[in-house]
Structure 1
């Protein structure tokens, strides 16, 4: 019985541990330490995964340029900036990210390059790509709940020359976040307290 109680206490204390803090729209504009693994990792279904080192989180990533190389396998400092409403081209990119349908990562990437005026591999402008490009709304500036917003990631110039600008996908925030009547953190604290009381009662018995 004592071992069971101890295990419950340990589990409760683990609940109190602080979780990783994900990027929030309140952090944009801002700065971040960025890492891109190469060969590219595609765990999130995009052109590559982008790791924000300080947050310890991976984000869906896309290229914005075809004439510059991204910084790979090395941490680098970058600025983060929102793109929604910044220009018709960026509005189109955000529309594409919110209306991917069944397009592959390669098709979505090519569509992004085209609307941003970049070159692309001959023959990659398939019917799916052209449909995304032609349907992209230049007036799309909607970052309502459930949508995705593109965040521009630009390397802070140091020793890197002509490093590529990237974008990561960031879910748009909910309109209203309910405020609990007492801090959520107190739930595991109360749980720990109740376990201590239970242990005391069992000891007396």
Structure 2
């Protein structure tokens, strides 16, 4: 009887372990990240930007489906603007961020979104200074993406047609968060200004400063 009990216990542990290993992610969707330095560029350009640039980034999660803490997040878009005193590639100590959530979200959804991001990406966001409500627009047509957050942020980006359309040895950065099917893109319009962070920028011209992909968390 004892041997049967031991075998039964082992079988239950294996089944539970398999179920955990194959558990599907809670929240999934599309991800866009725009940096204040070119991520795909020649070596000289990269070196010139690295010391004084790359201190800011915009992270956009367009949630297609999922829930967190039993709260549905289907169809919501949340935006984080992150800044640090040095290039984000090396500075994880001084990061500060602002989270932006759409006016249509409920208080319950905003609480769930903040908890989701601070649980999954605390190291990326650093100190979350505030969570703000704003009208968020997310549009995608082919390879083109347009994101606006009220009057504070505008981002228009166009990704490269495929991952093999770029030269890997000239991609100097990785996305700040783990994403799938990452492809480099270029921003055509990118500006931000808000009183909650001591940074502001208005990009002139295009820059290869964007990552696009899908996320699961």
**Same fold by TM (over 0.5)?**
no
Normalized per residue, the structure richer in strand is: 2
More RCO (CA 8 Å, sep 6+): 1
Whose radius of gyration is greater, 1 or 2? 1
